[in-house]
Amino acid sequence: MGKIVVVTGGVVSSLGKGIAAASLGLLLKARGLRVTLQKLDPYLNVDPGTMSPFQHGEVFVTDDGAETDLDLGHYERFTGISLTRNHNVTAGQIYDTILSKERRGDYLGRTVQVIPHVTDEIKRRILGLSLTSQADVHIVEIGGTVGDIESLPFLEACRQLRLEHRRDVLFVHVTLVPFIRAAGEVKTKPTQHSVKELREIGIQPDILLCRSEQPLTGEVREKIALFCNLPTEAVIEATDVHSIYEVPQVFHHGGLDSLVVRELGLEAGEPDLRAWNDFVARVEHPEHSCVVGVVGKYTHVRDAYKSIIEAFTHAGAANRARVKLRWVESETVDARNAAHLLGDLDGVLVPGGFGERGIEGKIAAVQYARERGIPYFGLCLGMQVATIEFARHVVGWQEANSSEFEPQAPQKVIDLMNEQTDVTEKGGTMRLGSYKCQLKEGSLARRAYGKAEVQERHRHRYEFNNRYAAQLQSRGLVISGKCVGRELVEIIELPDHPWFLAVQFHPELKSRPYEPHPLFADFVRAALERRRARLGSDAYQPGAAPQEADDPEDRSAPPIRQA
């Protein structure tokens, strides 16, 4: 097996363990080491696939069709490694496996317990991936914080791994060193208590990553080191940054990768970060700017659109531009206020989603973008509502709809396939994972991709209804992408529009800093062209808000409702 680095977190959640793990993976890979990453989630759901985005944020889908935690998206984006279902383990999966074995009699009548049965299954998942991936370094992130009851079996399993493979396991603990403004100083007690709780479990962290608003002085680092039983060099600051893509630079400057390599006895050269530094420079110093409206139903929870946000960062950097995102709650949009909400945008994107809530607002947004010549990009559900809008307002089928929203619609232009209709479990009707798509010669999609066939990741249940394909095409709709080997429509577009394209898959899942997704990059190019034509300039103003910031002119913020 390779070396294992276990990343834990303490004090509070959302400290950035996923970004820390991904950043360490990038740094070690830049040193020429083979790296893999794994997320251990303590919740009892088998996977996040049926969880509300309000609860869990985005579901990240892998090539092999696994519905996983959004941190796997960070892992893939930072390291460029395509992950699988084995890279995300939940407590639900662990207990499901153990109970299935118990029912089959695999335990031969023995009492099934957390120790050793649960911890053994967790170790089996970790070591199994370590062996099959043949990685030099296997980074394991444990979800939650130290002290959570549900995290204890995972921490105990990793404690046992350290005992069994003492020279091959390293613990990195991400903790908080808050800056108290009233006192004008940082406080180390939360970190001390977090490490104390970890040590009570039997784990002595080897490295501390200390999140703080302010840089840590040498005195503060020495104090933390003394009370947490670490050398001072192992107390590494993780100060707040403008962009998550700066984090690897901060950690490298703090000596994280050098320390990990030394402590694990690895042979590795200095990291080559030239390409990464160039990407970060383009993100931090854009020459152009544009504003894209994201018309969605989970806009109050930015993590629900994490991969979309990052795909725009990559596409913006490719165009040397900053893409400002305006979040528009789809429930607030209708034909009467569409001009007020969308009129000054350079592009409109409608993302994926499930359920009827906000659908009419999305359709109204598509209609406004289509009729006003605003670049439009539809993702998954965004393709389905674009098809419905075209059927209603161009073909004239006023009651056209998806059977997901109106089972009795006279024209169900979006519908379940025949083989899906008899399946009762929600997950049983989903099309998940990577599928090949053949692109039409001369189409916008073909020009953007620059090749005839692509592979993209799916997560959806309903499909374009081929029964209406001929009539829709006769009125100008172009079907520019089809699933290879199956008569399933993957891409639609309008040739008499500046830029109108919608896809059934999720291209955002495959966008990378070095390789921005071609459709996102071309959409941003079109948005910049619209801005230049509309305002005469797309020059970036240094005082503009960063991409992830809330829009100060957000005119659509109703109370949060779940569906």
Spatial distance between the Cα atoms of 292 and 272, rounded to a whole number of angstroms: 34
Output helix, strand, coil percentages for the chain, rounded to the nearest 5. Answer: 45, 20, 35
Contact 478, 501 (CB under 8 A): no
Instruction: Tell me whether residue 156 is one of the annotated catalytic residues.
Output: no
DSSP 124-137: HHHHHHHHHHT-SE
Selecting among 158, 380, 437, 483, the annotated active-site residue is: 380
The CA distance from 360 to 58, in Å, is 23
Query: 542 Cβ partners below 8 Å, 6+ apart?
Result: none
- Give the closest residue to 70 by CA, choosing from 41, 94, 36, 43: 41
490 membership: H or E segment, kind and range: strand 489-493
CB 208 within 8 A of CB 173: yes
Radius of gyration (C-alpha) of the chain in whole angstroms? 25
| Cβ neighbours of residue 234 closer than 8 Å, sequence gap 6 or more | 206, 207, 208, 225, 259
SS3 263: helix
340 tagged catalytic:
no
The widest CA-to-CA distance across the chain, in whole angstroms, is 77
Partners of 504 in beta bridges: none
DSSP, residue by residue, 347-407: EEEE----SSTTHHHHHHHHHHHHHHT--EEEETHHHHHHHHHHIIIII--TT-EETTT-T
CA–CA–CA angle 257, 236, 192 (5° rounding) = 135
* DSSP class of 319: T
Bridge partners, residue 296, by sequence: 329
Which of the residues 56, 252, 506, 517 is marked catalytic? 506
CA distance 53 to 519: 25
Out of 67, 389, 404, 508, pick the active-site residue: 508
Distances in whole angstroms, Cα of residue 168 to Cα of each of 8, 87, 105, 139, 229: 17, 19, 34, 12, 20
CB 117 within 8 A of CB 127: no
End-to-end alpha carbon distance in the chain: 45
506 is a catalytic site residue: yes
Which residues are the active-site residues? 380, 506, 508
